[in-house]
Structure 1
Amino acid sequence: GDEGFAGVPGGMQRVNDVAFSGDGEPTSYGGFSDAVGRAIALRDRHGLSDVKIAVLSNATLFHRPTVRAGLDLLAENNGEIWAKLDAGTEAYYRLIDRTSVPLDRVMANLLTVGRGQAIVIQSLFMAVHGEAVGDDEFEAYVDRLGALLDGGCRIKLVQLYTTARRPAESYVTRLDDDRLDAMAARLRARLPGLACEVYYGAGE
C-alpha cells in the first residue's frame, strides 16, 4: 500500500530507480533476463521510461549468455550496471569476497561488459582484525582500474565506501573518513580522468 508514504509531500513522491539487488547475487537467478524484461515493460507501461533500472552485481556471472542477454536489455533501456571490485590482489579478494570465482574472471567480465556500456564500479574497503586495507593492496586495486580503462572499459564512476551497518563478521570494522579521503585522493591522482565519489561509514 501507499500508507508508508502518506506523510511525504506530493512533490517529493517519485520513483528514483528500480534496482536488482539484495543479499544474494541477482544475476544467479535463472530467469534474470526475463525479470529485467518484465521490469522494463512495467516501468514503461506506467510512463516511467526516464527511471533507471540498475543491477548491483559482483560481476562473477557476466560471461553467461543468459546474464549477458539481461545486461544487453539494460543497455538498450536506460539501465545501469553497478559492479563490485573490492580488491587488487587475488589473495585479498579471496579474503574479502570469499568466493571460488577467480579475480581474473571478474576482471574479464567487467572488461567485456564495460566495452559495450558504461558501468559504475562499487568498491568496499574495510578494516579486518583492526588492520585497514594496506597501501600496496590499494595501489594494486588502482592498477586493476587502470587496466580496465586501458582495455577499453568505460567506467562512468567509481564509488569508494566502507561498512555502514554492523557486518556479519565481528572482526570487520569501518574505515575512518580520513583514510577513505586519502584513498580517493590517491585514486584521483593516478587516474585523473576517472570520476570518484566517497561514501563514509556510520559513526560507532
Structure 2
Amino acid sequence: MAAEPPSPSNDVEAYQRCLQEADARLGISRSAYSSVWWLFALWNACAVFNVWSRTQQWGFALPLAPDFEKSSTAYAVASIGSIGGAILLCLLLLTLNYHIQQWGRCSSKWTDKVPQISFIAARQGQLIPLLQAAGLIVAIVFPLAGQLHFADKFLAGTSEVMTGGQHASGWKEHLLKYISLSSACRDYKYDGQNSLAYCEFYEPWIIVLSALLSWCLAGRCLYFLMKK
C-alpha cells in the first residue's frame, strides 16, 4: 500500500518542533530575535529617510533617528548616508541571512523564513504575505534605493585642490582621476568644506563599492528566501 501523505496538522507540528529546536540550539527565541531585528530595521529606515530628506532639503525628519540638520551640507550628509548607511544595511542583511539560515530552514515558504512581525504572527489569512512584503520593502528595498541616491548625490558634488581650483565633478572624474593616497587625504577638499574629512578618488570608490556590497548581500538573501 502507498504511504499516506502527511496531514497538515503533522506539518504544523514538525514546523513548530523545528523552531523550538532552533531556539534551544541558539539560546534565543525566534520571537525575540525577530523583535530586535524589526526594531533595528525600523530605526535604520527612519535614518535613511532623514538623510534623504536632508539631501533633498525637504525640511522634515522622522523623530526616531538623527535629523542631520546640523551637518554642513547636503553633499556631506550624502557621504554619511552612503558609507554609514551601507554599514548599517549590510549588518541588517547579514542578520536577516542568519535568520533565514537558522529558523528559515524549518519551512520552504518565504513568509516563514523572514523575521516574524509580532502583531501579525498569530494571524492567518491572505494579507500576511502582503504585510510581510510591505515590511521588507520598508526595511530593505528603501535603504537599497537610498544607497543609489546617496552615491549619486555625493558623486555629483565638486572637489577642489586646497591651494585653489576645481579638481573633479561628477561620477567619471571622481572615479577615474587617480591620485596618490597621501595627497588625496591632504591636498583636496570636498564641496568647499575645509573641515570635512575627505580623501579624493578613494572615498568615492568606497561609496560605490559599499553600495555594490549591500546590493550583493540583498541578492543573496533573496536567493535563500526563494529557495525551496
Provide TM-score, normalisation by structure 2. 0.25
What TM-score, normalized to structure 1?
Answer: 0.26
The structure whose Rg is larger is 2
